[in-house]
Every structure is written in C-alpha cells, then in structure tokens.
Chain A
Amino acid sequence: MTENILEARNLVKRYPSVTAVDGLSFGVRDGICFGLLGPNGAGKTTTIEIMEGILAPTSGEVRYRGELLGRRFREEAGILFQKTALQDFLTVRQSLAMFRGLYERGLEVDEVIRLCALEKLETRDNKKLSGGQQQRLLLAVALVNDPCVLFLDEPTTGLDPQARRNFWELMQSIKARRKTIILTTHYMEEAELLCDEIAIVDRGKIIAQGTPRELLKQHFADTLLELPKQEFPAAARKLPLQMFEAGDRVEITTNDLDSTLRTLMDARVPLSNLRIRPPNLEDLFLELTGKDLRA
C-alpha cells in the first residue's frame, strides 16, 4: 500500500453561527485522484481550503508527507480556487511567468502553455478570456511549479458542457503524470470519470468513503430501473422490491432483472417509460443523504 501524501486529522472549523467542518479525518494516497463530493454548503470548500493551508482549522491538523504544512508544502502544492482573478493588463504568458518566479522549481512557461493548450492565447489579456479559457489559465498557474499535489476546487462549475469536457481531457492528461489530485465537485459524472477514491461529505462530516465502484457495490444491486412517479400505481408500492423515490421518479435496484420485470408486469405497472441503467454516484448520494446533489 502506498503511504498517504496528505492526511487530515480531526479537522473542525467553527464559525459563530455554523460548524462548517465537523471532525473530518481522511488520508490521500500518493498518485491518486481523491474526490470530495457533496451538495452546496456541505463543507467541501472549507475542508479543501484547510488542506491547502489557506484557512486555519478551529482544531485538528493537516500533514503533508508527515509534516505540518509549511514551506515545503507551498513549494510543492498547486492550487485552483473556485474564484480567482488575476492581475489586469497582464497577458497569459506574463501571468504564468510571474507565478513561475515565485517557486524555486517548476516547469518552463512554454511547457505549461502547451500542457494547458494555451498556445493561441498566450499574448491575450487575462481579462479577455472566456470562462473555459480562464479556467485553463488558472489550471496552468496551478501547474507552473510542477506540483506533487494538485488541489482543484469545483474546477468546472459554471463552464458550458463543451468547455467542461475539454477540461476533463486536460485533467486526464495531468492524471497520467502521476500527480496526486484532490478535487471537490458536485458533478457526479466528473467524479466518476476522474476520481480513484471519493469521500461524500454532508453537514461537515464524511458519510461514505471508498472507490466509486466499491461504494456503488456496497449500496446498490447491479441494475437500476427508473419509472415516472405519476405512472406508478399506489398499490405497486407494496411490492417486495428495493425501491425509493427520487424527485419525480421511482427507482428500483435489483440483481435479478428478469424476475423484477415480471413482478412489475404482474402488478400492471405501465412500463413504456421504463429506463434501465447501472446505478451511478448521483443515486448513491441520493440514497445516503436524501438530497439531490444540485439542490
């Protein structure tokens, strides 16, 4: 087993009116992509900012390679915040050169530009970038010191689907360089695509942790059936099936699709709008918290 590059121990962050993080502990193994998942307000950003050394916890500690966060961590960490403005009137290349100058070691500016596909934008003013381009530049800034550990706080929130997909491709090429990545997101698709391990956070606590596959296996049968709620007869609710309501849908999970379908047909449940798919992290979240992720 690879040792943990980062460890959070009993993190607590209290504000006068709310406890944002309530005793979180977890370790992140070297070289994996670790996802912190949760709805808005779950404490993801507070947790990741404590891990980044930006925010002081009320109690608890974070260790990087066994040491408390210090100068070495700052040299070796790359960070992409949820919201960051760069200096006005600087070009993409000039911004990257400025940040490169703050670190002892790192990549050549040209290499980072290539890595993040910014070649065509390098002489453009920071202010004149689109949302997706800006996010690529901020990722480039986070990579400029060739970090051992990379923090990404909701990197694709607010991007259009095309830009999001581009960003994911970029992140997969970074993953291939064996960087440790800590990612917060409320896009389950993103987590399933990128994360080797996830922790689901709700109200400042971890409510489930493991690889996406493990977690889904623990909580669900192999197949998930979805039916519109209004077409689902009340009498059928009493059928001996694993079912739960999710918004305007009724979801049923099973390991035996044939017999489940037979049961439904016998109960005269209309099946013309039936959807059959494997369960995903979104379902898991709903099951665990009773909340829609994007609520």
Chain B
Amino acid sequence: MSRRLLSVLHARNLEFIRDRATMIFTLLLPVALVVGLSFVFGGPERPLFKVGVLTQNLKAESYPFLHERYTDFVQETDEAKAVRNVSRHQIDLLIDLKGGPRYWVNPSSPKGYIIEKLLLQSDPSAKRQPVTGDAVRYVDWLFPGILGMNMMFSCLFGVGYVVLRYRKSGFLKRLNATPLTAFEFLTAQVLSRLALIMIVTTILFAGVSMIIHFHSAGSLLLVFLVALLGALSMIAFGLIIAARVSSEELVGGILNMLTWPMMLLSGIWFSLEGSPQWVQWVSQLFPLTHVLIAERAVMIDGAGVAQIAPQLAYLAITTVLFIGLGAWSFRWRME
C-alpha cells in the first residue's frame, strides 16, 4: 500500500512543482498575508481603541488618560467633523481638553462603552456631551461592508473558474472559430454574472434591512447604482485573471492573493482613518474601497450623486480598463 501511496504522492508533487505559475502564487500568498496581517495585528502595542483628542498639539498635553495603553490617540482640530466621526464609528470616543474635559461617545458603540468606563476611571470629572446628529449604529456602518465583501467574492470567484473550464474543455477554442470577438465574449460573461449578483445583493439588502431595521439615508436608486458599478468593476477585474490562466490551482492562488488584501484593507471591518499612508494608498487601488466609501456616504450620510462622483468615476473607468485589458490579453486555447 505504502508504495502505491508514495508513487501517487510523488507524481502529484511533480505535477505541482512543474506548474511554475501556480507554485509561485501559492508561495506568494503567505507573504501577502503576512504583510496584510502585520498591519492589522502587528506592532508592539496594537491599539484596541481609537480616541480623538481636540487639541492644537497632542504631544504637549499632559492629561493622564492619554497614557492609557492599547489606545490610539488621534489629534483632531475640527470639532464638528470630529463629533461626526464619533457618530459614524470612525473613532470610538472624542475628548476635548480645552477648559473642563468634555467627551463624546456613540451610545451604540461597544468599544465606546468600554473606553468611556476607562476615561471615567481616570478622570471622573469629565463631562459627557450628546452626540449631535443621527448617531449611527455599528451594525449600520458594517452593513455596507458585508454587502460589499459578499459582492467581491461572488464577482471574483464567479467568472474565473467558468472561463477556465471553458478554456480547458475546448469550448473557447470552438468559439474562437466563429466571428465572436474576445470583447463580446467577455462582456457577455460580465453581464450574466452582473445580473445574478444584483439579484442576490438586492435580496440580501432587503432582507437584512428588515432584520436590523436599517433605513438608508440616501436614495436607494443611488445605492443600487453604486453596487452595479462596483460589481461591474470587480467582475471585470476577475476576468483579467481568467483571461490567460490554464490551471485551477493558479486561479485559486491569484484570487486568494487579491481577496485577502481587499478583505483587510478596503475598510470592511474598521475605518482606515489614522492608518499609515501606504495602507491608504494601497486601499485606494481596490474597487471595493470605492464601493464602500460611496455606499456608506449614500446609506449613512444621505450623499447625492455629486458627492460620490469621484468613486462612481473610478468604478466606471476601471470597468472599461479591466475589460479592455482582459480582451487584449485573452487566450482562447490552452498553450
């Protein structure tokens, strides 16, 4: 038995090692994960809380609370904007050190609840201020992120494997013998996936909205438009991957490489405010980041088309760019 087992094991290992592209991506994935996770969990004292401090010079302040460990203190100068950040879960608590210490906390924030207790223990005289405007529940802030993440997986994983299967079975080669162009073929794949994703996302949106009693502040039509453009851009992104590859393992490797950083760095789970500059730059590359910025602006702040125009433009441009790139590099047959 062991000889047969070893024989199959050896053959499988050879197969894997000779598929160079797949091996490279399989080995690159952990590296990418380490980089991504080092940002999320790394550092000597990874802060658990993010506290805004209204002051002109944070370093010069000697308020004892500012020495709490595991807390990231961010300097804020604009009171109205900072309070809004509290209500939008961008920061867990805001403290004003001018005059008698005052603070703002979002009553629906779990982290805010704990950091408030820590503050009052350090300085029982601090005065709580009402959060002006509509305090947003954490679940409301997270909701667009979850919808976006679901869309991302469906977009990226939905097209890559299908096109690869067509290529492997020779179906693509047969299509190549017809007047069909790569652009037409890819556009059809995008539209088919898009219809499916929009139906699923709409059902998910309606269902979860009912369960968590969510009400979008802005136009639902605009929410739909952002999702539509976002899905288009991400499906087209998936097609670039599907354009050339010829092995399932390679597709899996590349998709993992792309989805993990997007999961961690697109602002699904937490705000990227106060993150290192490179993280913010990288995150701006991902279509998902723009989807989430626009969706949150519409759903939470009631933004109109004008306010989210840059995001809409980015998604539209990347869609065209990705489909163009996919069609240009498209391969009909296995090499």
Contact = CB atoms under 8 A, between A and B. Distances in A.
Interface in A42-88: 52-54, 71, 74-75, 77, 79, 81, 83-87
A89 interface: no
A141 B175 CA distance: 11
Interface in B117-157: none
A75 B178 CA distance: 7
B178 A99 contact: yes
Contacts of B173: 54, 81, 84
B206 interface: no
Nearest to B333: A54
A29 to B, nearest CB: 23
Interface residues of A, number: 20
A73 B171 CA distance: 20
Nearest to B174: A84
B177 A77 contact: yes
A254 to B, nearest CB: 47
Nearest to A141: B174
Interface residues on B, range: 10 to 19
Greatest chain B CB density within 10 A among A75, A87, A145 is at: A87
A85 B333 contact: no
Contacts, number: 42
A211 to B, nearest CB: 29
Interface in B156-174: 166, 169-171, 173-174
Contacts of A103: 178-179
A54 B178 CA distance: 10
A102 interface: yes
A54 B171 contact: no
B187 interface: no
Contacts of B171: 84-87
B169 A75 contact: no
Interface in A143-170: 145
Interface string A222-255: 0000000000000000000000000000000000
A54 B179 contact: no
B179 A102 contact: yes
B210 interface: no
Nearest to A72: B179
B71 interface: no
B177 A79 contact: yes
B179 A75 contact: yes
B180 A54 contact: no
B176 interface: yes
Contacts of B332: 54
B170 A102 contact: no
Nearest to B170: A84
Nearest to A87: B171
Given A74-B177, A74-B179, A85-B169, 19 more contacts: A53-B177, A54-B177, A54-B333, A74-B178, A79-B177, A81-B170, A81-B174, A83-B170, A84-B169, A84-B171, A84-B173, A84-B174, A85-B170, A85-B171, A86-B174, A87-B171, A102-B175, A103-B179, A145-B178
12 contacts: A53-B177, A54-B332, A81-B170, A81-B177, A84-B169, A85-B171, A99-B178, A102-B175, A102-B179, A103-B178, A103-B179, A141-B174
Interface of A: 52-54, 71, 74-75, 77, 79, 81, 83-87, 99, 102-104, 141, 145
The 7 closest A-B pairs by CB, nearest first: A85-B169, A79-B177, A102-B178, A74-B179, A84-B170, A84-B174, A102-B180
